[in-house]
């Protein structure tokens, strides 16, 4: 990407391949063309970048957290407090985020820290590609970063460098007054922000036409019971609004604006569109203990950030039809407490670890199922464990094997069941073969073991043995 | 097995104790195993529904819980309604459970980060009431937590089954500690029935009823669950193995 700065055409951004070829941001376009032949150069289009960034921010708002802001030219700020539990934990959320972005074609780096400034700096200078700083560890993590990480103007950074400042630590150790006298208050402000000494509000983007209700209090509230009571009232109000539009919520955000301008968030998701006051109140009240009211909450905002049409359904009235108990309430409660809830559906694959997939708990019934003519173990190891095995070639079951240092003598065995590699997935699997045996030892324990390869052709597999499951 | 007919007085007393104990609000339903010797032994003629049961594997099964999972799947398969299965380790292989009769469409899996989460979901599932049974894989279960689960199961009538599964063999001695569960089972694998040809016959289990409220402990050798989740009586125990029957049939002909 090439942009214009003054009269010169400079490289503004480059992809990984270009960086590997020796190009750097800030080079002139003419020089790069001299360095690398047939280089693809495109003009920088800042407006389109900005529009794309806005769209991405909306995507984050819909998928991750209720407070999201754009940080042009290339950043997005997310307040993850109160939203990470829906994805397991902070690390899982970040890795998931990066993987999903990668699937969309973005190279992303992300960091979570205590302050906006620190996350901004760490994502750009330390994250590879993600970094989670535990609570309270932020100052130690940022002190060794270069001063460019402070979000100062380029000119300011250059003049600080001239004076010999390289790291934030050095700047932090310098008396504040002379710095402010010479460079203005900006440095001190940024330092305070990165070291969590000053609050930095995030100005969140709000999608239009979102259904929300708010309640401002004359006196700030902080007791859990009071919050719960007002949450109940807000839920009732929002359910009224939803009913007018024929909608049900899939995701509900409770934003608690504190008197010290901080915002605390509780987010609750549901598996199906819901408009039930009691259920929604319970989901939100379940997490009230995660709200830190500080000096008090002055405004409560409840918004249905994702709503879907909810039609009235007639309940079973005939005597023949059996009513199926609705478990979606339970699913919501469990999912909002941070547990993963899912069902397992069959995938048409003979390779055991690929023969199933996780589907949402309320997905349609899976009609496919697995073939039943071979016995299958009840426990499958996610990672097959190598075993040492003595077996006559080419296709006899093993005579004895050693697993986790214990020798098992095989008394009875069944097999082989031959599983061929899935050549349409990977070239390597074109000739790959696994021979599965179920074996029983003297004590009656039954194992599911396999040999990599057919025992005759070296290219079908190495011939080493693995244990993959336990029969009951 | 002794005949229970002369113990009418004891049965009567038992019923009176039940009605005093609060759990007698609802007529206790049971799920028979379909094996006369086990059903005769259990109070009410089967596994009590709306109660908490504990199952663990014996020997190495205490760590892998493979046989215990199948035994539980067989029970769950015969209970009507959805099954909530709470665990921390994702190593349950659904095709294996389907072969024990439990359809994968009926099982909701909950994966928690720790045991506390499993117990939390376990209790939540029992309290919900819309499910058929709730299964939880836990290592530690205290008297308090099991009491909570048992009470929740009693109120809603949902059956709770705790699969006790430990990380180390040394921790398995925990199974001796008392809990509020109604029954406590231990499933150990024993060599399968010998076949006249090479291969593995139908798996067999040594089923120990270690503790049972209002009944004595007992042990059985049974054949593992079939495709409908039913246990079978071990052939040599019943003293009428298929081969002998075939022999008798051919002799009569």
pLDDT on residue B241 = 46
Q: Find the mean pLDDT for residues A437-460.
A: 88
Q: Are B113 and A341 a contacting pair at CB < 8 A?
A: no
Domain count, chain B: 1
Residues with Cβ within 8 Å of B221's Cβ and at least 6 positions away in sequence, in order, are B190, B204, B205, B206, B207, B234, B237
> Is B100 inside any structural domain?
yes
Question: Is A334 part of the contact surface with chain B (CB cutoff 8 Å)?
Answer: yes
Contacts of A378 in chain B (CB under 8 A): 66-67, 69-70, 73, 92-93, 96-97, 100
Tell whether omega for the bond before A129 is within 30 degrees of 0, i.e. cis.
yes
Contacts of B198 in chain A (CB under 8 A): 412-413
> Is B3 inside any structural domain?
no
pLDDT on residue B243 = 47
CB < 8 Å from B in window 57-96 of A: 88-89
For chain A, the structural domain boundaries read 2-44, 51-194, 211-309, 379-471
Question: Is B67 part of the contact surface with chain A (CB cutoff 8 Å)?
Answer: yes
pLDDT on residue A415 = 79
> Is B20 inside any structural domain?
no
> Is B5 inside any structural domain?
no
Among chain B residues, CA nearest to A333: B124
Q: Shortest CA distance to A68 belongs to which of A255, A286, A195, A247? A: A255
Among chain A residues, CA nearest to B189: A444
pLDDT on residue B244 = 47
Query: Among residues of chain A, what percentage have pLDDT more than 70?
Result: 96
Question: Is A368 part of the contact surface with chain B (CB cutoff 8 Å)?
Answer: no
Question: Is B187 part of the contact surface with chain A (CB cutoff 8 Å)?
Answer: yes
Q: How far is CA B207 from CA A442, A449, B37, B201, B218, in A?
A: 18, 26, 12, 18, 8
How does pLDDT run across A19-55, given as a tens digit for each residue? 777 777 778 888 888 887 777 777 878 888 888 888 8
pLDDT on residue B133 = 94
SS3 content of chain B, % helix, strand, coil (to 5): 40, 25, 35
> Is B170 inside any structural domain?
yes
Contacts of A417 in chain B (CB under 8 A): none
The answer to whether residue A386 scores a pLDDT higher than 70 is yes
What 3-state class would DSSP assign to B216?
coil
How does pLDDT run across A69-109, given as a tens digit for each residue? 888 778 888 888 877 777 778 888 888 888 888 888 888 88
Contacts of A442 in chain B (CB under 8 A): 191
pLDDT on residue B250 = 47
pLDDT on residue A465 = 93
Question: Is B63 part of the contact surface with chain A (CB cutoff 8 Å)?
Answer: no
Where residue B60 sits, what CATH number does that domain have?
3.40.50.300
Residues B169, B63: Cα–Cα separation, whole Å: 7
> Is B1 inside any structural domain?
no
Q: Shortest CA distance to A358 belongs to which of B117, B132, B100, B110? A: B110
Q: Are B93 and A380 a contacting pair at CB < 8 A?
A: yes
pLDDT on residue B242 = 47
Q: Are A372 and B91 a contacting pair at CB < 8 A?
A: no
The answer to whether residue A274 scores a pLDDT higher than 50 is yes
Tell me: ipTM over 0.85. no
Mean pLDDT of chain A: 85
> Is B14 inside any structural domain?
no
CATH number listed for the domain at residues A211-309: 3.30.1490.100
pLDDT on residue A208 = 66
Contacts of B67 in chain A (CB under 8 A): 378, 472
Residues with Cβ within 8 Å of A369's Cβ and at least 6 positions away in sequence, in order, are A346, B98, B104
Among partner residues B97, B124, B190, which is closest to A444 by beta-carbon distance? B190
pTM: 0.72
How does pLDDT run across B130-182, given as a tens digit for each residue? 899 999 999 999 999 999 999 999 999 999 999 999 998 888 888 889 999 99
Per-residue pLDDT of chain B (253 residues; tens, 9 = 90+): 455 555 678 878 877 777 776 554 456 789 999 888 899 999 888 999 999 999 999 888 888 899 999 999 999 999 988 999 999 988 899 999 999 999 999 999 999 999 999 999 999 999 988 899 999 999 999 999 999 999 999 999 999 999 999 998 888 888 889 999 999 999 999 998 888 888 888 889 999 999 998 888 999 999 988 888 888 887 655 544 444 444 444 444 4
> Is B12 inside any structural domain?
no
Q: Find the mean pLDDT for residues A352-371.
A: 87
Q: Are B96 and A443 a contacting pair at CB < 8 A?
A: no
Question: Is B227 part of the contact surface with chain A (CB cutoff 8 Å)?
Answer: yes
Torsion of Cα atoms, A267 then A271 then A274 then A279, to 10°: -70
Which structural domain range is residue B63 located in? 25-189+198-252
Q: Are A379 and B105 a contacting pair at CB < 8 A?
A: no
Among partner residues B70, B110, B129, which is closest to A378 by beta-carbon distance? B70
Among partner residues A325, A343, A440, which is closest to B107 by beta-carbon distance? A343
Contacts of A340 in chain B (CB under 8 A): 110-112
The answer to whether residue A140 scores a pLDDT higher than 80 is yes
């Amino acid at each position: 990407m090439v942009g214009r700065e003054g009269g010169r055409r400079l490289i503004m951004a480059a992809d990984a391949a270009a960086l590997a070829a020796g190009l750097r941001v800030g080079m002139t376009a003419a020089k790069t063309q001299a360095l690398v032949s047939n280089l693809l150069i495109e003009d920088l289009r800042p407006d389109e970048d900005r529009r794309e960034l806005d769209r991405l921010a909306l995507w984050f708002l819909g998928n991750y957290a209720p407070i999201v802001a754009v940080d042009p030219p290339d950043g997005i700020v997310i307040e993850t407090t109160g939203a990470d539990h829906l994805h397991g934990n902070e690390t899982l959320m970040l890795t998931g985020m990066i993987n999903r972005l990668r699937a969309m074609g973005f190279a992303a780096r992300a960091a979570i820290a205590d302050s906006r400034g620190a996350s901004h700096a760490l994502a750009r200078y330390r994250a590879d590609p993600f970094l989670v700083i535990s609570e309270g560890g932020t100052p130690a993590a940022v002190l060794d970063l270069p001063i460019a990480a402070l979000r100062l103007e380029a000119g300011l950074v250059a003049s600080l460098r001239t004076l010999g400042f390289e790291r934030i630590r050095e700047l932090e150790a310098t008396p504040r007054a002379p710095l402010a006298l010479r460079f203005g208050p900006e440095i001190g402000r940024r330092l305070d922000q990165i070291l969590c000494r000053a609050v930095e509000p995030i100005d969140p983007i709000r999608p239009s036409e979102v259904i929300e209700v708010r309640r401002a209090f004359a006196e700030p509230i902080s007791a859990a019971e009071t919050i719960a009571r007002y949450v109940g009232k807000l839920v009732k109000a929002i359910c009224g609004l939803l009913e007018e539009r024929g909608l049900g919520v899939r995701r509900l955000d409770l934003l608690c604006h504190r008197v010290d301008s901080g915002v605390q968030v509780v987010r609750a998701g549901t598996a199906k569109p819901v408009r039930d006051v009691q259920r929604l109140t319970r989901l939100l009240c379940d997490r009230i203990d995660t709200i830190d009211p500080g000096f008090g909450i002055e405004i409560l905002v409840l918004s249905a950030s994702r709503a879907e049409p909810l039609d009235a359904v007639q309940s079973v009235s005939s005597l023949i039809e059996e009513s199926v108990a609705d478990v979606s309430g339970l699913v919501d409660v469990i999912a909002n407490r941070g547990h993963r809830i899912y069902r397992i559906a069959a995938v048409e694959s003979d390779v055991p670890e690929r023969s199933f997939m996780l589907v949402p708990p309320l997905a349609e019934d899976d009609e496919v199922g697995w073939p039943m003519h071979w016995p299958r173990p009840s426990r499958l190891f996610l990672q097959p464990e190598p075993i040492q095995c003595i077996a006559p070639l080419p296709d006899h079951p093993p005579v004895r094997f050693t697993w986790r240092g214990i020798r098992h003598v095989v008394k009875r065995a069944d097999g082989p069941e031959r599983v061929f590699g899935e050549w349409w997935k990977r070239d390597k699997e074109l000739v790959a073969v696994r021979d599965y045996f179920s074996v029983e030892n003297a004590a009656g324990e039954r194992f599911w073991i396999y040999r990599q390869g057919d025992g005759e052709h070296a290219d079908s597999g190495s011939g080493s043995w693995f244990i993959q499951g336990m029969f009951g | 097995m002794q005949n229970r007919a002369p113990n009418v007085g004891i049965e009567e007393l038992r019923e009176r104790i039940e009605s005093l104990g609060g759990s007698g609000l609802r007529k206790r339903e049971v799920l028979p195993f379909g094996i006369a010797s086990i059903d005769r032994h259990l109070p009410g003629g089967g596994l009590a529904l709306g109660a908490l049961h504990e199952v663990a594997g014996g020997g190495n099964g205490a760590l892998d819980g493979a046989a215990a999972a199948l035994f539980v799947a067989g029970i769950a398969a015969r209970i009507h309604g959805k099954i909530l299965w709470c665990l921390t380790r994702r190593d349950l292989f659904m095709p294996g459970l389907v072969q024990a009769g439990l359809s994968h469409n009926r099982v909701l899996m909950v994966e928690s980060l720790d045991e506390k989460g499993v117990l939390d979901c376990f209790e939540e599932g029992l309290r919900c009431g819309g499910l058929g049974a709730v299964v939880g894989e836990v290592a530690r279960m205290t008297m308090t937590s099991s009491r909570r689960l048992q009470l929740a199961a009693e109120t809603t009538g949902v059956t709770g089954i705790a699969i006790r599964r430990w990380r180390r063999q040394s921790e398995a001695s925990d199974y001796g500690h008392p809990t509020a569960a109604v029954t406590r089972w231990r499933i150990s694998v024993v060599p399968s029935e010998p076949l006249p040809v090479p291969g593995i016959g139908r798996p067999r289990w040594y089923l120990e009823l270690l503790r049972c409220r209002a009944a004595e402990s007992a042990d059985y050798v049974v054949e593992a669950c079939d495709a409908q989740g039913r246990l079978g009586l071990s052939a040599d125990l019943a003293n009428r193995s298929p081969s002998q029957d075939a022999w008798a049939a051919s002799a009569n002909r």
